[in-house]
Chain A
Amino acid sequence: MSHAVLKPNWPARFALVLASLVALTLAVTVAVTVGEMAIPLPVAFRALGNGLFGLDLPVSAIQQGVIFDYRLSRALMAALCGGALALSGAILQALLRNPLAEPYILGISAGASTGAVCVLILGAGGATLGLSGGAFLGSIATLAIVALLASGTGGGSDRVILAGVAGSQLFNAVTATIVTTLASAEQARGVMFWLLGNFGGVRWPDLWVAAPVALIGFLVCMMHAKALDAFAFGTDAAASLGVAVTRVRLVLLATTALLTATMVAIVGTVGFVGLVIPHAARFLVGSGHARLLPACLVVGAIFMVLADVLSRILVPQQILPIGIVTALFGAPAFAIILYRARRAP
């Protein structure tokens, strides 16, 4: 299980990064070619060449539009979303020392939904706040409430989960109340569909928001990889190893909230990714965060891209909400992980 690398093994690292990129590219390629309108691979590549490198290859305008503006942006958004949620899950599990921690279970997603719904239906904050801003404020508020509730009831990693369950119930109720009492029938249907997660509305401008957030979030997390390792035996152990516990917690919890809120604002709430992917990644690369965090990013991205493909082809003529697909495949996957990683009696 040990990785006794004295000096960094650059060729091996490079090979790993390359393999991850190839796998991700393959997944995106699948996502781009699969769909209602079957588009052959050569046409897809030509469309990508046109869109990405400004070439002028022969592709019909409709196919060009479907491939580049619809499917590629959607696939890349799915990749960002999966990576960001998996990253958030890994960070929360390390900081709270609880294998069940993730944005969805801790209510951060629920809070983000409430914030987004407030903006969407109540018009809170007007044009200045926007959907993402509302989602971010909602998720920060939930995080603060859950943290207060957890520390007020005596701290401990199980308390955090219980507080998270309470927080997510509360915010889901608030969201439901706003939707059922104040939204028009059409608004309500749209919100409900959005709440279960949906990549359908994603266009390129969404990516210009999500990509920098995910990148910065990832870099901030990587800067704290060693500090996260030090949390393995608790906060006192981390502090005695010279980690600035309070600052690291604040920075990383805010980063997690920002990552989750951005993704929820764009695609709605998607559960299970933050929970399952970090465990799967740990299974692949071990518990050291310098390896685990990039692994989460890549595995989460590939998982979400493929989940989105499934959501489009499982039921003909219909697109399932992505949250349903991740739960359908995530829950059994989680059970398998738990079973295989069970401790020797």
Chain B
Amino acid sequence: MTLATHEVRWSAGGQMIVDGVTLTVEPNRVLGLIGPNGSGKSSLLRLLCRLRKVASGVVTLDARDIADLPRRELARRLAFVEQQAATEVQLSVCDVVRLGRTPHRGAFASWTEVDEHAVDIALKRVGLAARHDQPWHTLSGGERQRVHIARALAQEPRELILDEPTNHLDIQHQLAILTLVRRLGLTCVVALHDLNLASLFCDRVGVLAGGRLVAFGTPQEVLTPCLIAEVFGVEVVIRESTPGRRHIEYVVEHEAGDHA
């Protein structure tokens, strides 16, 4: 058992943003949430981490309502990586990763070998062990995102929630981040924009439109030309190069003079 939502609703400014979503996340699998801008992906993720309170419905973790879990217990179990979390504070890479130990330490607890070990392991898993002391502000976008994932790993979670972790990254770093996320073997929920990346890296895909979950299943089941046309309003052709390797091609009609 892991995360699940039942008829979850959330509104902001009188507008329904998440409208009755019921889904079950499978343990140790990657669930991708896709949908157009404003479809409620980020809001749903924030409801999953209890960063926002559900207006109605319930989010459960191991069949327990997450609203009943103590904050720190939840943070030791479930970690969240934001789209682009920045800071003005002068921090080093290990300072940022150390923040992940916050839920494991009391107000006056001193830094222990267990904490240090967790930070080292986390930095190794994202491949940044050598950058331990580098100032955060000198990192590239991809490196910053990996440091955030390392910070999340230092929380030693079983569930990892990522909000568009590939945003603003070049294609090499997009692939690297998602390969990393897949290899972690954690239960992951990832909001993604790129349909090909979702098809490539997710075990399950949930499609949101207007705050509702309109499709849920394996990428093969869900990402059909019909559904993509309906939800995203674009025409696509899907090719399968080798079995299971699907490519979603966007059909764009060029103006007659374009290649003249």
Binding site for B on A (CB under 8 A): 1-2, 4-8, 94, 97-99, 223-227, 229-230, 232-234, 236-237, 239-244, 282, 286-288, 341, 343-344
Contacts and interface: CB of A to CB of B under 8 A. Distances in A.
Contact of B85 (A2, A98, A237, A239): A237
A224 B102 contact: no
Given A4-B116, A230-B102, A241-B99, 5 more contacts: A2-B92, A239-B51, A239-B71, A241-B100, A243-B102
Interface in B150-172: 155
A236 B82 contact: yes
A14 to B, nearest CB: 15
A225 B91 CA distance: 15
Interface in B42-74: 46, 49-51, 71-74
Contacts of A225: 107
Contacts of A243: 71, 102
A6 B82 contact: no
Contact of B103 (A2, A236, A241, A341): A241
Contacts of A341: 90
21 contacts: A1-B95, A1-B135, A2-B132, A7-B111, A8-B110, A97-B87, A229-B99, A229-B102, A230-B102, A232-B87, A232-B89, A232-B96, A232-B99, A234-B87, A237-B82, A240-B79, A241-B102, A242-B72, A243-B71, A244-B71, A344-B137
Contacts of A4: 94, 116
A99 B92 contact: no
Contacts of B79: 240
Q: Tell me if A's interface is mostly helix, strand, loop or mixed.
A: loop
Contacts of A224: 107
A99 B137 contact: no
Contacts of A99: 88
Nearest to B110: A8
Tell which of B73, B108, B132 has the most Cβ of chain A within 10 Å. Answer: B108
Nearest to B102: A241
A282 B89 CA distance: 10
Tell which of B73, B79, B85, B155 has the most Cβ of chain A within 10 Å. Answer: B85
Nearest to A225: B107
A241 B90 contact: no
Interface in B80-125: 80, 82, 85-92, 94-96, 99-100, 102-103, 105, 107-108, 110-113, 116
Given A1-B133, A242-B74, A343-B137, A236 B92 contact: no
Contacts of B132: 2
B138 interface: yes
Interface of B: 46, 49-51, 71-76, 79-80, 82, 85-92, 94-96, 99-100, 102-103, 105, 107-108, 110-113, 116, 132-133, 135, 137-138, 155
A99 B107 CA distance: 24
B137 A233 contact: no
A230 B138 contact: no
A240 B90 contact: no
Contact of B71 (A97, A98, A226, A242): A242
Given A224-B107, A233-B86, A344-B138, A6 B112 contact: yes
A227 B138 CA distance: 25
Contacts of B133: 1-2
B74 to A, nearest CB: 7
A324 B113 CA distance: 49
B203 to A, nearest CB: 24
B165 to A, nearest CB: 14
Contacts of B113: 6
Contacts of B105: 226
Tell which of A6, A7, A239, A243 has the most Cβ of chain B within 10 Å. Answer: A239
Given A2-B94, A6-B113, A242 B89 contact: no
Contacts of A2: 92, 94-95, 132-133
A241 B71 CA distance: 8
Given A6-B116, A233-B82, A242-B72, A288 B95 contact: yes
Given A1-B135, A226-B105, A242-B74, A233 B87 contact: yes
Contacts of B91: 232, 287
